[in-house]
Amino acid sequence: MTAGQLVVWRHGNTDWNREGRVQGGTDVPLNDLGRAQAAATARALAALAPTAIVSSDLRRAADTAAALAAQTGLPVRTDARLRERFFGQWQGRLMADVRREHAAAHARWTAGDPDPGCDIEPVDALAARGVAGLRAAHDPAGTTVVVSHGGTARYAVAGLLGWTAQARATLAGLDNCAWAVLAPRGAGWQLRAYNLTAPLDAAATGDLAGEPAESR
């Protein structure tokens, strides 16, 4: 790995992911599948010889980071700037109910409105704190693994790359326990890989369902 690379890693699966429930800033733990994902991915990421691990302080991210710490012996530093986007009135609600009860705001959010209402954190604020978290985590001499969330990872990665809102809209969210790799390039950054995953055994993958990353 090139010195100064950032590995941005989304947390493992939770029961709320499985149920289609909006997590946002709610502190929800990993489920059995999420712990299996974290363990498998930690083995893959340990091979990259990381020099630092920085995580959101929410349990689903911190416990994902702990799996890598167990593999590498590195400490985990937490940073609240890496938390998931705050989803206001939607937090704790099933997305199907949100779609029905907040139809107008949901349509704005789906269309990419940066400030759709319902007390949801505006995208500009989310991106700014996410980018600040990535910059603070960055070790220019090594490889830093940053553990975050679907929405925050998406907007922080796009923000660090300097993408416009139009370009950012083309970037999908990371799957549970998937990761992206960014490397310094001159005064900016380059996206080297995105949405990489480690294989799980059949027993673990039997519970895995595709879930939208943002809000989770």
Q: Please identify every residue annotated as catalytic.
A: 11, 84
- Those residues whose C-beta lies under 8 Å from the C-beta of residue 17, and which sit 6 or more positions away, are 23, 34, 176, 211, 216
Do the annotations mark residue 11 as ligand-binding? yes
Task: State how far the Cα of 77 lies from the Cα of 26, in Å rounded to an integer.
Answer: 20
Do the annotations mark residue 17 as ligand-binding? yes
Task: State how far the Cα of 36 lies from the Cα of 179, in Å rounded to an integer.
Answer: 16
Do the annotations mark residue 13 as ligand-binding? yes
Contact 150, 84 (CB under 8 A): yes
Surface-to-core class of residue 214, CB atoms within 10 Å of its CB (0-12 exposed, 13-18 middle, 19+ buried): buried
Do the annotations mark residue 60 as ligand-binding? yes
Do the annotations mark residue 43 as ligand-binding? no
132: three-class secondary structure by DSSP: helix
Do the annotations mark residue 201 as ligand-binding? no
Do the annotations mark residue 15 as ligand-binding? yes
Do the annotations mark residue 35 as ligand-binding? no
Amino acid identity at 199: P
Question: Annotated binding site, which residues?
Answer: 10-17, 60
Question: Annotated binding site for substrate, which residues?
Answer: 10-17, 60
